């Protein structure tokens, strides 16, 4: 029996695509099979599996996790959904592409192996004068799998991508989403309703392009796309999965129902923030004045110190400027901190 036939036999029995992917850190031969309910299953590569039900579909859904390997809760959610689909317990009404982004980084329990995958999308994987590495090659391939998935969709059908993460620090607002820069297009209230149904009531509006997976699928493929932070990073086995029940239910409904109705939009259900600025680390000597326990969304008074980058002291320049994703250990040149300020729903939302 060929190695592909062997892994497919195993996958049909146990549905354990996560373990299969972890056992093939950077590459797995493609393979295909059909479930008893006629759903077509295509393994494109390690960590990349597509399901296509045998019915007319209207949505093309990408669910990614493990873009950072130590962010285990989203991996567990997707692992369970995949197992339920393969066992036939969960019957699909929509096309779905699941991606475990960086299997080797899952195995070593780290955010990344050599380089942060989520800084390599939208073409940033391939740059003149910068040597390729496994993560750069992977980012390139993941873009291709997403492109092909959407290219094979029926014309006029809907595209979305939820890139699931957990944050390094605790957060005052436990679950929050990053809405990639839309280049002036309106933010969608219907997407906020979807996020609310997932248990996410806090959304940050980016105001510039990024190298992230969610920006890529939004900008290049016109997908409704978000980075979704579901809680704080924990090792496998330490996640309280009850905290993700709403997310799991909402994702399940999205892929297993012809149409999902969400409650009517009510601005008071949300806390919305606009990204005020991005602070990059430009010097070896970079530090924050606050402790590692300082939570995301902690606000600073105007004039308070936010960071020191070499000789440059950076102060809050508006009252209540709040910190998101502070990380002094990022590579020089990368984002060490985002700051946000509250915003209201207005005519820029449709
Ligand atoms: O908690 C942290 O410091 C990072 C959590 C994380 O991985 N966040 C994403 C956000 C991506 C985005 O801005 O859309 C990341 O930093 O890649
Ligand atoms: Zn992450």
The pLDDT tens digits of the residues spanning 115-165 come to 999 999 999 999 999 999 999 999 999 999 999 999 999 999 999 999 999
**pLDDT for the residue numbered 21:** 98
Atom number in ligand 1 closest to CA 71? 7
Phi, psi for 67 (deg, rounded to 5): -65, -30
**pLDDT for the residue numbered 235:** 97
Task: Give the ligand at the shortest distance from the Cα of 232.
Answer: 1
Residue whose CA is at the smallest distance from ligand 1 atom 13: 178
Is there a contact between 108 and 120 (Cβ–Cβ < 8 Å)?
no
Spatial distance between the Cα atoms of 142 and 157, rounded to a whole number of angstroms: 21
Q: What is the pLDDT along the chain (350 residues), one digit of tens a residue?
A: 899 999 999 999 999 999 999 999 999 999 999 999 999 999 999 999 999 999 999 999 999 999 999 999 999 999 999 999 999 999 999 999 999 999 999 999 999 999 999 999 999 999 999 999 999 999 999 999 999 999 999 999 999 999 999 999 999 999 999 999 999 999 999 999 999 999 999 999 999 999 999 999 999 999 999 999 999 999 999 999 999 999 999 999 999 999 999 999 999 999 999 999 999 999 999 999 999 999 999 999 999 999 999 999 999 999 999 999 999 999 999 999 999 999 999 999 99
**pLDDT for the residue numbered 331:** 94
For the chain, give me the number of helices (H) and strands (E)? 8, 16
The number of residues in the chain equals 350
Annotated binding residue 271: no
The pLDDT tens digits of the residues spanning 11-49 come to 999 999 999 999 999 999 999 999 999 999 999 999 999
**pLDDT for the residue numbered 185:** 97
Spatial distance between the Cα atoms of 119 and 211, rounded to a whole number of angstroms: 5
| Substitution site in 165, 174, 298 for ligand 1 pocket (most atoms within 8 Å of beta carbon) | 165
Annotated binding residue 165: yes
Residue whose CA is at the smallest distance from ligand 1 atom 17: 118
ipTM of this complex: 0.98
DSSP 276-345: EEEEE--SSSEE-SS-TTPPBT-EE-TT-EEEEETTEEEE--STTEEEES--TTSPTTSEEEEEEEEE--
Structure tokens at 266: 């009510």
**pLDDT for the residue numbered 338:** 97
Q: Determine the 3-state secondary structure of 130 from DSSP.
A: coil
Annotated binding residue 161: no
Residues annotated as catalytic are 229
Structure tokens at 72: 């285990």
**pLDDT for the residue numbered 66:** 98
**pLDDT for the residue numbered 183:** 98
Atom number in ligand 1 closest to CA 166? 5
Burial class (CB in 10 A: 0-12, 13-18, 19+), 96: buried
Which residues does a 6 A CB cutoff place in the pocket of ligand 1?
A: 68, 118, 165, 167-169, 178, 210, 212, 214, 227, 325, 327
**pLDDT for the residue numbered 202:** 98
pTM of the model: 0.97
**pLDDT for the residue numbered 31:** 98
């Amino acid at each position: 029996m060929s190695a592909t036939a062997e892994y497919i036999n195993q996958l049909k029995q146990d549905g354990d695509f996560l373990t299969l992917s972890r056992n093939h850190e950077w590459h797995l031969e493609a393979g295909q099979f059909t479930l008893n309910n006629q759903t077509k299953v295509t393994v494109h590569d390690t960590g990349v599996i597509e399901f296509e039900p045998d019915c007319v579909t209207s949505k093309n859904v990408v669910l990614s996790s493990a873009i950072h390997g130590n962010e285990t809760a989203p991996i567990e959610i997707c692992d369970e959904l995949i197992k339920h689909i393969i066992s036939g317990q969960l019957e699909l009404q929509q096309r779905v592409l699941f991606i475990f982004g960086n299997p080797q980084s899952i195995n070593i329990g780290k955010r990344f192996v050599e380089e942060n995958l989520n800084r390599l999308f939208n073409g940033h994987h391939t740059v003149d004068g910068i040597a390729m590495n496994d993560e750069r090659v992977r980012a390139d391939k993941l873009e291709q799998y997403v492109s092909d998935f959407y290219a094979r969709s029926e014309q006029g059908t809907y595209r979305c991508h939820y890139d699931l993460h957990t944050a390094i620090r605790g957060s005052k607002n436990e679950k929050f989403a990053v809405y990639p820069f839309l280049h002036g297009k309106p933010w969608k209230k219907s997407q906020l309703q979807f996020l609310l149904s997932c248990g996410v009531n806090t959304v940050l509006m980016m105001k510039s392009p990024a190298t992230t997976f969610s920006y890529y699928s939004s900008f290049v493929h016109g997908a409704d796309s978000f980075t979704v932070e579901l809680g704080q990073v924990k090792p496998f086995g330490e996640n309280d999965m009850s905290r993700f029940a709403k997310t799991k239910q909402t994702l399940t409904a999205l892929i297993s129902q012809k149409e999902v109705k969400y409650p009517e939009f009510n601005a008071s259900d949300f806390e919305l923030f606009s990204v005020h600025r991005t602070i990059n680390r430009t010097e070896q000597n970079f530090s924050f004045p606050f402790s590692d326990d300082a939570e995301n969304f902690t606000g600073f008074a105007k004039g308070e110190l936010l960071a020191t980058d070499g000789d440059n002291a950076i102060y809050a320049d508006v009252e209540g400027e709040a910190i998101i994703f502070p990380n002094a250990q990022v590579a020089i040149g990368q984002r060490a901190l985002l700051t946000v300020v509250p915003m209201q729903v207005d005519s820029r939302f449709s």
